[in-house]
Amino acid sequence: MQEKLRSHIEEVVLLTNDEFSLIYSLFTAKQFKKKEFLIQEGEKVKYAYFVVSGLLKLTHTDDSGKTHIISFAMEDWWESDFPAYFNQTKATMSLQCLEDTNVLCLSLENYQKLCSDLQKMQSFFLKKANSGFIGSQKRIISLLTTNAKGRYDQLLKQYPTLFQRVPKTQLALYLGVSRETLSRLFS
């Protein structure tokens, strides 16, 4: 786990051994089984999660009871209900395992400590946040302007391994199409 986190951070900033020791000491390692929840709507969000191995889905259930998949998170990704995490409010999204998953958990207090103690971690988290904003805006534009076939093709091109790891019903929810429409796109 340590090596994965260090190599992930060092894609953005270089670290000394002492700096990495401090960083790693502020994380907690946890294991979750398939279908287990890391976050459930209505609960306090304690952590941001770095995915070491496994696959997660972030969902939101609307007022009519319909579930929407916001994102999938696989190895080397960060995930949480970030508005609830940073604002210390109750979750409006749920985070669930699609596979057995190992994560490193970072509390908000430890996140803030990292950013105040190590300037380079501010740079790291800023780059990660900016990448997330860019990805979110691209997804919104795609949902607004691209037909189902185009969204399917974009997802297949960008994340081909998801198609082997995620059930078709979950992919359909993520793409905003019915299971039947997704089956037609697969053929």
- pLDDT tens-digit readout, 28-80: 999 999 999 999 999 999 999 999 999 999 999 999 999 999 999 999 999 99
- The answer to whether residue 149 sits within a structural domain is no
Task: Note down the domain range covering 34.
Answer: 29-105
Instruction: Say what the pTM is.
Output: 0.92
- The answer to whether residue 7 sits within a structural domain is no
Q: Into how many domains does the chain fold?
A: 1
- The answer to whether residue 5 sits within a structural domain is no
User: What's the CA gap between 133 and 86, in Å, rounded?
Assistant: 15
8 A C-beta contact, residue 49 and residue 95: yes
Domain CATH code at residue 69: 2.60.120.10
